[in-house]
């Protein structure tokens, strides 16, 4: 082989080798860029790009006059980005020394998260500014730890209207599965769990936004690559009047029970108080174990909304129903009398009036004024439990009102059929006598009673109670308006309702009226007292000597002014003993405040709002 042939061979060999190398490189690049290109592009972007969720602020709550009751405030929240926190135990240990959360819990939160590792995991909400500053200063030594600002719920007046407004809590597993009611929600998100925060969740929650940002190796944001704006939730305008609600809360401050003020002409709830109450701000960033334990172990049950969830015997307030039935059936009229000798025998039972020796011959107005039991034993017995139940239900008793708050109780209006099916027993005439004066099996909520008295006041129209007047967007544009809704006209003629109103006026304004402690000079108030028995005493023990839990409940229902009703109310004092002594004076304070009649509660200013909490 000559030298030229050798050179040619070498060149050919080198060409083949180089070609093979290029072929291998080409195939490798083809594999990486074509077959695996999407994967590595994603990995590349994840290493330098962060997808950040921008939480939408919830809508506000406003009173009927536009005063803000619940808003949002900035909350500094701590997150861990799992893929950046290479040494999770170390990071958790450092955070545990700074935050009120155990190291193991931090690790568990990160591991429990089912989101991609480049997405932040919430560790702690609402940390103080001093700790925010510390984390920013030590950012380089805590890779993967970031602080984000998010809107947090803030009830401006603390406990104010807490049972109406409600509170937020972390979304639970059942709610997470309900993607229709909770679209786009994730583990750790706060959603309404009580009150209107819960029932109006669909309007209050907005649409979250997001942004794609470029970050450096330490996780610091360099620039925003793209962004989707968040959309705030809708604002809820209530029927509640800030000033009236404040007035009622002040009047009821040292009582346990409920009080409700309603406009009898449209069903608007102007105030609804359940006492004791709670501070929804405790739940805003996640309630502590100690605070939760304090609430649920409190023997007075502050989380119970007694206005709609407490069911109690209505006592003598139910005599309004028995009166309506007796008048409509023609068993009694304005001038007819029934004799009360202090007791009456019904079968083998002797039923007694509260007044020893009795009231003598009384008309229906007298019977209402003095709350004569024997009168109503007799009228109720002639009506029968079927008719009593019919009239009670027509006034909305024994069934939910549909006010729009979660977990409203129905109470009970008993019938012969109910007792047979429930207890397997027949109905006795003595039980009809008990029902006629609001005792025995009968139970109602305070809301049902104020709705009943509103129908008496306005001439027989039973309205659906309302708490929400309007829904508006963040630009104050009307989204939805809630108009008064009539449930029914009660089956009682106006002339008979007029007799009942006369009797209720006498309760407050005439001699020996049981509601005289609600009398106000210059204001015509009509009312009815009620004392609901808790236990039946076999011996004569002074009621005040009984343990509190065995004492009778006190009721008072009322409306004013009589000739042009603007306000209807119910006052229920749990274990308050007599309605005339415990509940009527509270009603007087409320009426005086609303109508500016010189109440102690309005000496500062009848329109002064409560002082916002400095939280």
Q: How far apart are CA 50 and CA 224, in angstroms?
A: 10
Residue 562 · residue 522 · CB < 8 Å? no
Confidence of residue 13 (pLDDT cuts 50, 70, 90): low
Q: How far apart are CA 30 and CA 462, in angstroms?
A: 78
What is the total residue count of the chain?
615
Q: What is the pLDDT of residue 331?
A: 96
Q: What is the pLDDT of residue 30?
A: 58
Q: Which segments of 86-177 does DSSP mark as H helices, in order?
A: 88-98, 103-112, 129-137, 162-165, 173-177
Q: What is the pLDDT of residue 217?
A: 60
How many C-beta atoms surround the C-beta of residue 406 within 10 A? 16
- 504-544 residue pLDDT tens: 999 999 988 999 999 999 999 999 999 988 777 665 667 67
Q: How far apart are CA 144 and CA 72, in angstroms?
A: 27
Task: Tell whether the model's pLDDT for residue 14 goes beyond 70.
Answer: no
Tokens of 287: 């309630």
Could you tell me which residue, 17 or 579, shows the higher pLDDT?
579
Mean pLDDT over residues 266-283, rounded?
A: 96
Question: Which stretch of DSSP H or E encloses residue 469?
Answer: strand 468-472
- Catalytic residues, by residue number, are 316
Provide the CA 193 distance to its chain's centre, in angstroms. 9
Considering the domain 247-278+311-468+480-602 in this protein, what is its CATH number?
3.40.710.10
Q: How far apart are CA 523 and CA 264, in angstroms?
A: 17
Residue 353 · residue 379 · CB < 8 Å? no
- 15-52 residue pLDDT tens: 655 566 666 666 655 555 555 555 445 544 444 676 77
Tokens of 408: 């409203």
Going by their DSSP bridges, the two strands 145-155 and 121-124 should be labelled as: unpaired
Q: What is the pLDDT of residue 603?
A: 43
Q: What letter would DSSP give residue 456?
A: H
Which of 579, 535, 572 is closest to 448 using CA atoms?
572
- Biggest CA–CA distance in the chain, Å, is 149
Domain spans of the chain?
Answer: 50-238, 247-278+311-468+480-602
- 70-98 residue pLDDT tens: 999 998 889 888 888 888 888 888 888 88
Q: What is the mean pLDDT of the chain?
A: 87
Task: Tell whether the model's pLDDT for residue 191 goes beyond 80.
Answer: yes
Could you tell me which residue, 16 or 342, shows the higher pLDDT?
342
Task: Tell whether the model's pLDDT for residue 577 goes beyond 90.
Answer: no
- 406-446 residue pLDDT tens: 999 999 999 999 999 999 999 999 999 999 999 999 999 99
Confidence of residue 611 (pLDDT cuts 50, 70, 90): very low
Task: Tell whether the model's pLDDT for residue 453 goes beyond 90.
Answer: yes
Task: Tell whether the model's pLDDT for residue 318 goes beyond 70.
Answer: yes
How many C-beta atoms surround the C-beta of residue 597 within 10 A? 16
As a 3-state breakdown, the chain gives helix, strand, coil percent values, each rounded to 5, of 40, 20, 40
Residue 244 · residue 63 · CB < 8 Å? no
CATH fourth-level superfamily of 50-238: Penicillin-binding protein 2a (Domain 2) (3.90.1310.10)
pTM of the model: 0.84
Task: Tell whether the model's pLDDT for residue 599 goes beyond 80.
Answer: no
Task: Tell whether the model's pLDDT for residue 4 goes beyond 80.
Answer: no
How many C-beta atoms surround the C-beta of residue 58 within 10 A? 28
């Amino acid at each position: 082989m000559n030298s030229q042939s050798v050179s040619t061979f070498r060149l050919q060999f080198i060409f083949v080798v180089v070609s093979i190398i290029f072929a291998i490189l080409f195939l490798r690049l083809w594999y990486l860029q074509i077959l695996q290109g999407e994967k590595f592009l994603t990995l590349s972007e994840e290493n330098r790009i962060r997808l950040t969720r921008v939480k939408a602020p919830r809508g506000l709550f406003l009173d009927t006059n536009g005063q803000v009751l619940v808003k949002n405030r900035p909350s500094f929240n701590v997150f861990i980005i799992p893929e950046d926190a290479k040494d999770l135990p170390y990071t958790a240990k450092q955070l545990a020394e700074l935050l009120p959360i155990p190291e193991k819990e931090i690790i568990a939160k990160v591991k429990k998260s089912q989101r991609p590792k480049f997405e932040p995991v919430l560790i702690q909400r609402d940390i103080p500014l001093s700790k925010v500053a510390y984390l920013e200063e030590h950012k380089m030594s805590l890779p993967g730890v970031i602080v984000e600002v998010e809107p947090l719920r803030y009830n401006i007046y603390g406990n104010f209207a807490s049972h109406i407004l409600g509170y937020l809590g972390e979304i639970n597993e059942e709610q997470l599965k309900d993607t229709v009611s909770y679209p786009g929600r994730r583990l750790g998100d706060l959603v309404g769990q009580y009150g209107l925060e819960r029932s109006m969740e669909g309007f209050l929650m907005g649409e979250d936004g997001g942004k794609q940002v470029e970050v450096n190796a330490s996780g610091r944001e360099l620039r925003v690559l793209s962004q989707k704006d968040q959309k705030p939730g809708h604002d809820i305008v209530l029927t509640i009047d800030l000033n009236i609600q404040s007035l009622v809360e002040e009047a009821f401050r040292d009582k346990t029970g409920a009080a409700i003020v309603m406009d009898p002409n449209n069903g608007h709830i102007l105030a609804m108080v359940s006492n004791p109450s709670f501070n929804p701000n405790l739940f805003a960033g996640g309630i502590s174990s100690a605070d939760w334990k304090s609430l649920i172990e409190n023997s007075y049950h502050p989380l119970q909304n007694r206005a709609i969830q407490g069911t109690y015997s209505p006592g003598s307030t139910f005599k309004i129903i028995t009166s309506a039935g007796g008048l409509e059936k023609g068993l009694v009229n304005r001038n007819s009398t029934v004799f009360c000798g202090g007791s009456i025998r019904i079968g083998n039972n002797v039923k007694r009036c509260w007044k020893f020796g009795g009231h003598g011959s009384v008309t229906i107005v007298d019977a209402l004024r003095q709350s004569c039991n024997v009168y109503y034993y007799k009228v109720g017995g002639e009506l029968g439990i079927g008719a009593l139940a019919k009239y009670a239900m027509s006034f909305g008793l024994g069934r939910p009102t549909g006010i729009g708050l979660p977990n409203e109780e129905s109470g009970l209006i008993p019938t012969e059929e109910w007792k047979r099916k429930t207890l397997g027993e027949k109905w006795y005439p003595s039980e009809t006598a008990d029902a006629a004066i609001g005792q025995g099996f009968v139970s109602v909520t305070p809301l049902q009673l104020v709705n009943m008295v509103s129908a008496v006041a306005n001439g027989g129209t039973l309205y659906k109670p309302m708490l929400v007047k309007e829904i508006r967007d963040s630009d104050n544009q009307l989204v939805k308006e809630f108009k008064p809704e009539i449930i029914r006209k009660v089956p009682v003629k106006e002339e008979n309702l007029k007799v009942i109103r006369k009797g209720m006026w006498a309760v407050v304004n005439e001699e020996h009226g049981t509601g005289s402690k609600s009398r106000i000079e210059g204001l015509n108030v009509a009312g009815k007292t009620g004392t609901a028995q808790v236990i039946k005493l076999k011996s004569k023990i002074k009621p005040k000597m009984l343990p509190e839990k065995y004492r009778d409940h006190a009721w008072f229902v009322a409306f004013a002014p009589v000739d042009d009703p603007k306000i209807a109310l119910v006052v229920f004092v749990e274990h308050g003993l007599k309605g005339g002594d415990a509940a009527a004076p509270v009603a007087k304070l409320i009426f005086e405040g609303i109508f500016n009649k010189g109440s102690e509660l309005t000496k500062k200013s009848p329109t002064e709002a409560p002082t916002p909490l400095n939280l």
